[in-house]
Amino acid sequence: MIAPVPLSELTTMRVGGPPAAMVAPVTEQDLVKEALVVWGMDEDWMLLGGGSNTVASDAGFDGIVIRVVTRGVERLDSEAAGAVRLRVQAGEPWDELVAHTVTQGWAGIEALSGIPGSCGAAPVQNIGAYGQELSDSLAAVDFLDYETGEVRRMEAAELRLDYRTSALKQGLRGIVLAIELDLRDTRNEADVLGLALSQPIGYGQLASALGVQLGDRVALETVRSTVLDLRAAKGMVLDPTDPDTYSAGSFFTNPIVTEAFARTLPDAAPRWVLAPELPDRVIPLDEYAGVGPIPGVDDVRPVKLSAAWLIEHSGVRKGFHLPGSRAAVSSKHTLALTNTGGASAAEIAELARFVLGRVQAEFGVNLQPEPVLVGLDL
Ligand SMILES: Cc1cc2nc3c(=O)[nH]c(=O)nc-3n(C[C@H](O)[C@H](O)[C@H](O)COP(=O)(O)OP(=O)(O)OC[C@H]3O[C@@H](n4cnc5c(N)ncnc54)[C@H](O)[C@@H]3O)c2cc1C
Please name each of the domains of the chain with its CATH number.
7-67 (3.30.43.10), 73-233 (3.30.465.10), 256-374 (3.90.78.10)
pLDDT tens string, the chain, 378 residues long: the values are 888 999 999 999 999 999 999 999 999 999 999 999 999 998 999 999 999 999 999 999 999 999 999 999 999 987 677 889 999 999 999 999 999 999 999 999 999 999 999 999 999 999 999 999 999 999 999 999 999 999 999 999 999 999 999 999 999 999 999 999 999 998 777 777 778 899 999 999 999 999 999 999 999 999 999 999 999 999 999 999 999 999 999 999 999 998 889 999 999 999 988 866 666 777 777 777 766 666 666 566 789 999 999 999 999 999 999 999 999 999 999 999 999 999 999 999 999 999 999 999 999 999 999 999 999 999
DSSP characters for 55-121? EE-TT-EEEEEEE-----EEEEP-SSTTEEEEEEETTSBHHHHHHHHHHHTEESSGGGTT--SBTTT
Q: CA–CA separation, 123 vs 293, rounded Å? A: 36
Q: Are residues 238 and 339 in contact, defined by beta-carbon separation less than 8 angstroms?
A: no
Task: Check if 52 has its Cβ closer than 6 Å to any atom of ligand 1.
Answer: yes
Helix (H, G, I), strand (E, B) or coil at 363: helix
* pTM assigned to the model: 0.92
Q: Are residues 345 and 326 in contact, defined by beta-carbon separation less than 8 angstroms?
A: no
Q: Are residues 310 and 264 in contact, defined by beta-carbon separation less than 8 angstroms?
A: no
Task: Check if 25 has its Cβ closer than 6 Å to any atom of ligand 1.
Answer: no
Indicate if 277 belongs to the active site: no
Indicate if 164 belongs to the active site: yes
Q: CA–CA separation, 331 vs 335, rounded Å? A: 10
H or E element, residue 33: helix 28-39
Distance 121 CA to ligand 1 centre (A): 5
Task: Check if 32 has its Cβ closer than 6 Å to any atom of ligand 1.
Answer: no
User: Measured in whole angstroms, how far is the alpha carbon of residue 133 from the centre of its chain?
Assistant: 9
Task: Check if 111 has its Cβ closer than 6 Å to any atom of ligand 1.
Answer: no
Which atom of ligand 1 is closest in space to residue 116's alpha carbon? 17
Q: CA angle 353-357-363, nearest 5°?
A: 145
Q: Are residues 184 and 106 in contact, defined by beta-carbon separation less than 8 angstroms?
A: yes
Which atom of ligand 1 is closest in space to residue 122's alpha carbon? 21
Closest residue to atom 49 of ligand 1, CA basis: 372
How close are the terminal C-alpha atoms of the chain, in Å?
A: 32
